[in-house]
């Protein structure tokens, strides 16, 4: 989890994720997930090379990460913090509230070949 600097004043708050400050990589792609129906889950895959930075800009969601040996979940509920997801981490997103918006910054363009969508394959590739 990375704390994001916030500039707050009487007009509200502005949070900044800048390369070298909060962001450990140059973002080459941004996407956001929203409008997820109650009980639906997202993710359930890993990336071979991609690094991602996930910010819950509204609502809340649980993100569970596993390296094949250890599995840990965190609830994202603040636009002032981001979760860094390294390559070769199995990622599951659950418990998204109706108002949840997850913004994701990624260090590469979309490439389906970078995904591992089969959990057994992930465990084999992770050497777990």
Q: In this complex, which beta carbon is closest to ligand TYD, that of residue 3 or of residue 48?
A: 48
Q: Under the criterion CB under 6 A, does residue 108 sit at the interface with ligand TYD?
A: no
* Cα dist from 40 to 44, 79, 83, whole Å: 12, 22, 21
Q: Does 77 bind ligand TYD (CB under 6 A)?
A: no
119 is catalytic: no
Look up residue 45 and give its two tokens.
């895959």
CB of 120: closest distance to ligand TYD in angstroms? 18
Q: Give min distance, CB of 43 to ligand TYD, in A.
A: 5
Sign of torsion over alpha carbons 105, 111, 112, 113: negative
Instruction: List the interface residues with ligand TYD, window 8-47 (CB under 6 A).
Output: 29, 31, 33, 42-43
DSSP secondary structure letter of residue 94: E
Q: Is 110 in the site for ligand TYD (CB under 6 A)?
A: yes
Dihedral sign of CA atoms 113, 118, 124, 128 in order: positive
Copy the structure tokens of residue 14. 């502005």
Q: Give the count of residues interacting with ligand TYD (CB under 6 A).
A: 6
Positions annotated as catalytic residues are 45
């Amino acid at each position: 989890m990375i704390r994001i600097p916030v500039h707050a004043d009487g007009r509200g708050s502005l949070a900044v994720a800048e390369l070298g400050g909060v962001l450990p990589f140059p973002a080459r792609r941004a996407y956001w997930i929203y409008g997820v129906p109650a009980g639906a889950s997202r993710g359930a895959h890993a990336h071979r090379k991609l690094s991602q930075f996930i910010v819950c800009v509204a609502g809340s969601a649980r993100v569970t990460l596993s390296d094949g040996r250890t599995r840990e979940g965190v609830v994202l509920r603040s636009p002032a913090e981001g979760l860094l997801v390294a390559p070769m981490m199995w990622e599951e997103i659950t418990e998204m509230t109706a108002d949840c918006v997850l913004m994701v910054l990624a260090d590469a363009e979309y490439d389906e070949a970078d995904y591992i969508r089969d959990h057994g394959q992930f465990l084999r590739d992770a050497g777990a």
